[in-house]
């Protein structure tokens, strides 16, 4: 780890991966279940400004990619210095994303869902998406560091 050089292309690819995962996750995999659990309808979907929604989703994903970059670069414990071999693998970065999904996203979305009276199915769909997304983002960033 010579410095904190950021691979911006890796961050952009990681951010874009969130849209790809979202297309599959909220489309053929869990689209109907998510719509039912969230109260979304086809009419509501059509009313949204999709350029704004996807544009801001990408910007927010860039923020998450920067966060994942910091996690895979300086994360770890017990004197383990990340950002160098043997930690520069897709698998290791995906592990950081998985842990972030379970230890950060689950408590945040779970708490929000409790107050909004959302179902456990809704929580599992949303947390599943973010956990898979962060695992892929972490993998891309770490392997491409």
- Residue 2 predicted with pLDDT over 70: no
Q: Structural domain boundaries of the chain?
A: 8-75+83-143
Interval 103-125 mean pLDDT: 97
Q: What is the pLDDT at residue 84? A: 72
Whole-number Å distance between alpha carbons of 95 and 144 = 15
> SS3 of 78, please?
coil
Q: List, for residues 5-51, the tens digit of each pLDDT value.
A: 789 999 999 999 999 999 999 999 999 999 999 999 989 988 989 99
- Give, rounded to a whole angstrom, the gap between the first and last alpha carbons of the chain: 10
| Angle, CA 100 vertex, CA 63 and CA 39 arms, to 5° | 75
User: Which positions ≥6 away from 131 have C-beta within 8 Å?
Assistant: 97, 98, 101, 102, 105, 106
Is 0.85 topped by the overall pTM?
yes
Q: What is the pLDDT at residue 87? A: 78
Q: List, for residues 49-84, the tens digit of each pLDDT value.
A: 999 999 999 999 999 999 999 888 877 666 666 767
């Amino acid at each position: 780890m010579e410095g904190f050089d950021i691979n911006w292309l890796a961050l952009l690819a990681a951010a874009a991966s969130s849209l790809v995962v979202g297309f599959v996750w909220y489309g053929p995999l869990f689209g109907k279940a998510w719509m039912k659990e969230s109260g979304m309808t086809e009419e509501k979907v059509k009313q949204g400004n999709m350029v704004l929604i996807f544009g801001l989703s990408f910007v927010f994903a860039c923020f998450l990619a920067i966060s994942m970059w910091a996690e895979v670069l300086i994360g770890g414990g017990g004197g383990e210095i990340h950002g160098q071999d043997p930690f520069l693998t897709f698998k290791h970065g995906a592990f950081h994303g998985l842990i972030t999904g379970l230890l950060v996203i689950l408590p945040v979305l779970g708490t929000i869902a409790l107050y909004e009276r959302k179902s456990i199915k809704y929580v599992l769909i949303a947390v599943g998406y973010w956990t898979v997304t962060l695992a892929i983002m972490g993998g891309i960033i770490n392997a491409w560091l």
